[in-house]
Amino acid sequence: MHLRIPFTPYRAGSRKLMADFDCDTFRDIKANCKVEVKPNLGEYITKLKLCVGRNNTEHRTDEISVNRLMLRRGQRFQLTFFTTRQVRPDTDTVLLTVEIGPSPSESKGTHSVFGFPWHLGGKGRWKVELVESCSSSFTMGITSPADACVGSYKLSIRLGSENAIPRQLTNLVLLFNPWCAEDWVYLPQEAERQEYVMAEQGIIYTGTRHYIGARDWNYGQFEEDMVDICMKLLDMNPKCFRDAAEDFSARCNPIYVARVVSAMINSNGDNGILVGLWQPPYSGGVAPTHWDGSVDILQRWYTSNFSPVKYGQCWVFAAVMCTVLRCLGIPCRVVTNFQSAHDTDKSLTIDKYYSDNGLQPKESHDSVWNFHVWVEGWMKRPDLCGDSTYDGWQVLDPTPQEKSAGVFCCGPCPVKAVLEGHTDLKYDIPFVFSEVNADQVNWIVQSNDSKERLHSDSSQIGQNISTKAVGADRREDITACYKYPEVSKKERLVFEEAVRRGNEHKPRPELSLKPT
């Protein structure tokens, strides 16, 4: 049974798309002149057309902006230069430079030079080709690497000589690209890309395993300021403060970015977005049940000098993280686990202790929640093995429960590793495995503090694991992605494997996190 909670879509102002914007013809419109055309570049180049309308449409970012270059990595975009004569790519020097972050360098992937003549500009990791040339203009096709760092780049030009003073042309934003087969976040099915990247509305399931409620949510990842807010969130993470150059360089990697976002959604130990509170009163803030979208939360954080927003619970944390990942271009879906265990000691059991007279002499910090909500992000995991075994959906949980490597975050944890009980891998697999498949165990504690197993139940934890179906407002049960049928022989073998691997405490050697 589903209970639908009423929802009024949030609108952060008009975002009327310029459907009639002619991006193939130069139009000197006052509102767009500052971004469409850069005049007086010197030498024989008089103007630059950024082709924002055409580029953003082709990169599926026109819902984000029609005024700024919003691009997806690994995909070509075009710039048109207006000239006083025909360009000669073998002899004329036109060199473009892209830079991101502090102290940009080619070795860190935060600096690249490209253009022509080819012996000067053809060796950069950003690739360029001459698409069209005539007596009054030429068009360059530029392709960023499929593993380029995501974020805001400065684009500049040098004319006449490689030693010429560069002139800044514009800023461009580069996002992950689920449409690019070489990108680690590549998602093959278009219907899934529309659901997990482009859809701004969704459904989150709450309640109990017997009475499942459906809460509508406005993710709003393409609303005003969302890209800037998401980039600022990355800039505010503690790793960036400790070593900004390394942090910007690591933003090529969706594994790294997703883990950073998981930590930054909660405010525990950093300048994160949400304060968690699990019982009233909710004084000085908004009750978690009153939120119906992410946009208001993210804008409050952004406009309040990055003060944490009060208050959130698991579904709010997860929904805001879904907004951020979809905005950055990482496919994401919100997942609800009913009868969700919270195992505090990585024992893979939820323990209760009793004395021989029936009292509870020892308090347990383990617990079982009616439901818990996290997200899954789609990405490759070549850091775990040399093949695609652990690629695909990764659990990411921004609700502050337990620390992971000293930080309140969780994941990315391969769902396939949870299914097979591979608890010796990164990140946080024992914790997630327990959430969906822990055994509940009652113990008798003797007077000498020894304990004896009284009763165990292996079938109650992890019920009706749910997410919104692709292209439909209905619940999809994905329990089988996380575990084999309860009390089956295979499920018990996997549990034993999880215990064995967890007890060994010997993580497998990892490969380089740098995409190739």
- Please count the residues of the chain: 516
Helix/strand/coil for 396: strand
Helix 226-235 with 314-328: angle, nearest 10 deg = 100
Beta-bridge partners for 173: 70, 152
Nearest CA-CA partner of 275 in 296, 301, 236, 302: 301
**The one catalytic residue among 147, 183, 383, 397:** 397
Name every residue whose Cβ is closer than 8 Å to that of residue 91 and which is 6 or more positions away in sequence: 117
DSSP 182: T
**Dihedral of alpha carbons 213, 217, 219, 225, sign:** negative
Provide DSSP, 386-403.
Answer: SSSTT-EEEEE--S-SS-
From residue 61, give the alpha-carbon distance in Å to each of 12, 67, 71, 258, 321.
Answer: 18, 11, 7, 20, 19
Q: Which of 23, 149, 252, 314 is catalytic?
A: 314
In 3D space, the residue among 331, 316, 351, 306 whose CA is nearest the CA of residue 445 turns out to be 351
CB atoms within 10 A of CB 44: 16
CB-CB contact of 196 with 331 (8 Å): yes
Torsion angles phi and psi, residue 429, rounded to 5? -70, -40
Contacts of 122 (CB under 8 A, 6+ apart): 114, 116, 128
For residue 149, what are the CA distances in angstroms to 193, 250, 258, 352? Answer: 21, 7, 13, 47
CA 264 remoteness from chain centre: 11
Closest C-alpha among 364, 384, 376, 331 to residue 440: 364
343 assigned to active site: no
* Distance (Å, whole) CA 131 – CA 116: 13
322 is catalytic: no
Q: Which of 59, 111, 372, 422 is catalytic?
A: 372
**DSSP structural state of residue 129:** E
Under 8 Å between Cβ of 116 and 89: yes
Q: Is 397 an annotated catalytic residue? A: yes
DSSP designation for 404: B
Q: Can you list the alpha helix ranges (DSSP code H) found in 176-225?
A: 190-193
Whether residue 395 contacts residue 363, with contact meaning beta carbons closer than 8 Å, is answered with no
Active site residues: 314, 372, 397
